[in-house]
Amino acid sequence: MQLIETRPPIGTRVIHVYNIIAVLYNNDTTTSDDITVNFFDPEYNSSTTPPMKLSPLNATLNPDETKTFILADWPTPLSGKIPLNISFSPSSPKVLPNEKNSGYYVYILDIPTTKKTASTPGFEILIVLGAIAVFLLSRPMKK
């Protein structure tokens, strides 16, 4: 995971933007054809949103080959310990999944809770007291 940016807060929500990086290594003696790597967003709902595919969408892994897959600019308003599920499997339904060409791993992303406020505490009180003082001093004195 690589933090790209932290956006200015909107209300109490801070958006962190990450690049998700998955590295696969083929330690078998045969080629793994047409592998797809998916990223399941922690707010993933299988009935409404499909998993995101990390690019390159499909790749062939030759024996002793390593490939890097990246999902760029993933924004999240979540904080704390966030489980990220990254899975890989054959893209073709003609290729049977097995322990060599399919699997998943869960990475725990720890996003610190950041509370940013747009105002200085107590500043409003000083403005009110200053306005009262100006009002009282600008009134003519009675004799």
* Structure confidence by residue, pLDDT tens digits, 49-103: 778 888 877 788 888 888 888 888 888 888 888 888 888 888 888 888 888 788 8
Give the C-alpha separation, 24 to 35, whole Å: 10
Half-sphere exposure of 70 (CA within 13 A, CB side): 8
139 part of a folded domain: no
43 part of a folded domain: yes
24 part of a folded domain: yes
Range list of H helices, 1-143: 123-138
Beta bridge partners of 88: 37, 103
Q: Are 86 and 102 in contact (CB under 8 A)?
A: no
Give the C-alpha separation, 99 to 123, whole Å: 62
135 part of a folded domain: no
Boundaries of domain holding 8: 2-114
Q: Which has the closest alpha carbon to 60: 32, 86, 79?
A: 32
114: tokens are 């950041």
Longest Cα separation, the chain: 104
The CATH number for 96's domain is: 2.60.40.10
* Structure confidence by residue, pLDDT tens digits, 3-40: 888 888 888 888 888 888 888 888 888 888 888 888 88
Whole-model pTM? 0.65
